[in-house]
Amino acid sequence: MKRTHLITLIAVFSVMLISHASAQIIFFADFETASSEAVPDASVNDPANWVSENEGTVWAEATEFPGGEGALHQTQEGCGISGNTPLPGVDEFSDGIIQAVFSWQDDDGVGFQFRRVGDDRGYLVAFGYNETPQIIIGSLADGCCPSGQCLDQCSCENGGNELVGVDHGLGAGLTQDNSVAYLARVQVTDTLIQAWYMPLADAPGLFVDSAELGDPVVEYDGADDLGPGSVGIWHESWGNGRMGSVLVTGPGGTVAVDPHAKLSTTWGEVKSSY
């Protein structure tokens, strides 16, 4: 009888271990050749798999990146090439963390679309730079922001159709030579959207709990279109900017979780009883 119970428990704990391990990071692109860290596999690092909805947006492999790893380089410029590039295979996002490391070579912004379904459902968090020194949260339902338009053209900045916009807190006169990397993170929990924005050098790590990043720069509690939907990289005329370490997690609020830690103690207790 004990042997039967033990076999059953082995099966249960195996399922728990797999589900905990797979529920954390659902997408990670580090753009490193033959990467063993990419999730779900190294195909997410291939620029050919990053296909923008706007043909004017062109992603290429970057040769240098201040983020310390590989990166993609957005090679074009102008409001007409603005728009969203869906993350390969991330189509069912509701809650979790979306994060990337960016560097700039012009004054315009970049960000994330998420919970997107079609052209008029989902949300945008835009991380401005020198021209628009704000973080802006907008809704696709309010027209923020169609492909081929900058934020001013779709009236989603400076008190227009956006849900909220606050000063990004980075100051003025930021470098435009791709020499400084910035961490941009969005955490989505039910109706709450929170965003953090800081020089990568000031961040305690890429995979830390959001609480370790300090208070969010902006938050909005009213995102009642819960998805699920796709996740994408959105930009407005973000010419020659670079992007690395693109991360998406499932719900839970943290990416610094060892999926084995809690289970190993419990499993040890189970084994000792047999």
User: Do 159 and 58 share a domain, yes or no?
Assistant: yes
Domain span including residue 67: 26-258
User: Do 8 and 133 share a domain, yes or no?
Assistant: no
User: Do 146 and 18 share a domain, yes or no?
Assistant: no
User: Do 15 and 67 share a domain, yes or no?
Assistant: no
Please answer whether residues 108 and 150 qualify as being in contact, where contact means their C-beta atoms are separated by less than 8 angstroms.
yes
User: Do 105 and 238 share a domain, yes or no?
Assistant: yes
| CA-based nearest residue to 125, from 192, 67, 176 | 192
d(CA 86, CA 71): 16
User: Do 153 and 54 share a domain, yes or no?
Assistant: yes
CA torsion, points 93, 97, 101, 106, in degrees to nearest 10?
70
Phi, psi of 100 (to 5 degrees): -155, 165
User: Do 268 and 200 share a domain, yes or no?
Assistant: no
21-73: pLDDT as tens digits: 434 899 999 999 888 999 999 999 999 999 999 999 999 999 889 987 799 99
* CA–CA–CA angle 20, 23, 29 (5° rounding): 125
Residue for token pair 């930009």: 235
Token pair of 42 as six digits? 């190294």
Token pair of 263 as six digits? 């289970």
User: Do 6 and 126 share a domain, yes or no?
Assistant: no
User: Do 164 and 254 share a domain, yes or no?
Assistant: yes
User: Do 139 and 266 share a domain, yes or no?
Assistant: no
User: Do 52 and 148 share a domain, yes or no?
Assistant: yes
Instruction: Record the pTM.
Output: 0.85
Q: 59-68, 145-154, 203-212 — which is least confidently predicted?
A: 59-68
68-124: pLDDT as tens digits: 779 999 999 999 999 999 999 999 999 999 999 999 999 999 999 999 999 999 999
Strands 83-86 and 230-235: antiparallel
| CA-based nearest residue to 221, from 191, 188, 195 | 191
User: Do 225 and 96 share a domain, yes or no?
Assistant: yes
Higher pLDDT, 254 or 48: 48
Q: State the CATH number of the domain containing residue 42.
A: 2.60.120.560
Number of independent structural domains in the chain: 2
For residue 254, what pLDDT is reported? 65
